[in-house]
Amino acid sequence: MSNGRGAVDDDPLVALASELTSRLADGAGTGGARNDLEPGRTYLVTGCAGFVGSHLVEALGSRGCSTIGVDAFTDNYSRAAKEHNLEHCSRHGDFRFVELDLAESRLEPLLEEVDAVFHLAGRPGVRTSWGPTFGAYVHDNVLATQRVFEAAVRQRIRVVYASSSSVYGDARVYPLGEDSALFPVSPYGVSKLACEALATAYALSCELDAVGLRYFSVYGPRQRPDMAFSQVLGCLAEDRPFGVLGSGRQTRDFTYVGDVVGATLAAMQRAPSGRVYNVGGGCEISLLDSLALFEELVGRRVVRHHVASAAGDAGRTIADIGKACAELGWKPTTSLESGLAAQIRAAAEHEAGRAVAWV
């Protein structure tokens, strides 16, 4: 991991860090056959009852892989919504669910059964990471991740883990490359950066085989209820105005969940050990412009009111995804228009009765 400020030649700590970083970046192996996602292999997906995790389980099932999914049903949103996500997991292939808290339960018995780990469990969300809830972020992001890494080192298996664009904060140069400066502007971003630092420490000192993925604003069917497009859908369904944070001119690199799953599978198969990749959709759009697109798709006006911008929300995110494209053979294929249409359709199907009017 680089801090992007350039090496100071005569600082021994900086020299050591840069030597170790380049050793890791040489990619000591790609983890071997157990990461090939061939039918018959078994993978652990943490956070399988979540938004992205449940899509990943479906993709693994449709490839003929078996999946053990774990989740703790944490309180960032309702258990009912997470149980609905789990129903999708059970529809595909050989799937077994274990309810446990990664920060508290013994993980070795689970990891003994699998070929590799997709670690997507975590506590997302920038705005709620201030104040007393930060303890939950430390528990679900830092401690849970450290325990997954410990167990993976013991089993000598690969971990592909979810990081976030929030590790960058407000940058001066865009698009954001993996070696851009890392100055998170929220406690959530700090907790994700801590996970990346843990991955580096365990790789350098204990030969952990880990690959980090910095997801950028994921959307699509079953998007978390606290995220913007889900909120807009909820407001339309209940005839409430949508609260636009600040001016609404802040931009995001929205990434369709199917593309995120594609990058995550490709990282398991092809990433050299120790790498971190941006996973972005490749198109930067302001919140206001995305609302206009939303209105076109649903054929209804989204009534809005402006509320104060939230501390910790970056003004702009746009990823340079060149490294993931070159090294993983992956690129996003879903336009915001078709991805949003899929999210709207799925919400309408789920909400059947009351949502029929949207489409």
State yes or no: residue 279 binds ligand NAD (CB under 6 A). no
For residue 332, state whether it binds ligand NAD (rule: CB under 6 A): no
Q: Residues 6 or more apart from 330 whose CB is under 8 A from it?
A: 262, 263, 266, 324
Q: Which of 31, 50, 312, 339 binds ligand NAD (CB under 6 A)?
A: 50
Determine, following the binding rule CB under 6 A, whether residue 209 of this chain makes contact with ligand NAD: no
Residue nearest to ligand NAD according to CB distances in the complex: 50
Residue 132 burial (CB count, 10 A) = 6
The residue among 74 and 128 lying less far from ligand NAD, judged by its C-beta, is 74
Q: What angle do CA 256, 37, 254 make, to 5 degrees?
A: 10
Which of 1, 68, 120, 344 contacts ligand NAD by CB under 6 A? Answer: 120
Tell whether residue 252 is a contact of ligand NAD (CB under 6 A): no
Contact 203, 24 (CB under 8 A): yes
Determine whether 102 is exposed, middle or buried from the number of CB atoms within 10 Å of its CB (0-12, 13-18, 19+): buried
**By C-beta, is 146 or 217 nearer to ligand NAD?**
217
Angle between helices 187-206 and 144-155 (to 10 degrees): 20
Describe the chain by its helix, strand, coil percentages, rounded to 5.
45, 15, 40
47 versus 184: smaller Cβ distance to ligand NAD: 47
With CA atoms as reference, report the closest residue to 262 among 81, 62, 22.
Answer: 62
The one catalytic residue among 188, 202, 215, 256 = 188
When asked if residue 320 is in the footprint of ligand NAD (CB under 6 A), the reply is no
Q: Does 73 bind ligand NAD (CB under 6 A)?
A: yes
- For 269, the token pair is 């198969």
Torsion of the alpha carbons at 314, 319, 320 and 325, rounded to the nearest 10: 160
Is 43 among the catalytic positions? no
Is residue 53 a contact point for ligand NAD (CB under 6 A)?
yes
226 near ligand NAD, rule: CB under 6 A: no
The catalytic site residues sit at 188
Q: Residues interacting with ligand NAD, by CB under 6 A?
A: 46-47, 49-53, 70-74, 76, 82, 101-103, 120-124, 140, 144, 162, 164, 215, 217-218, 224
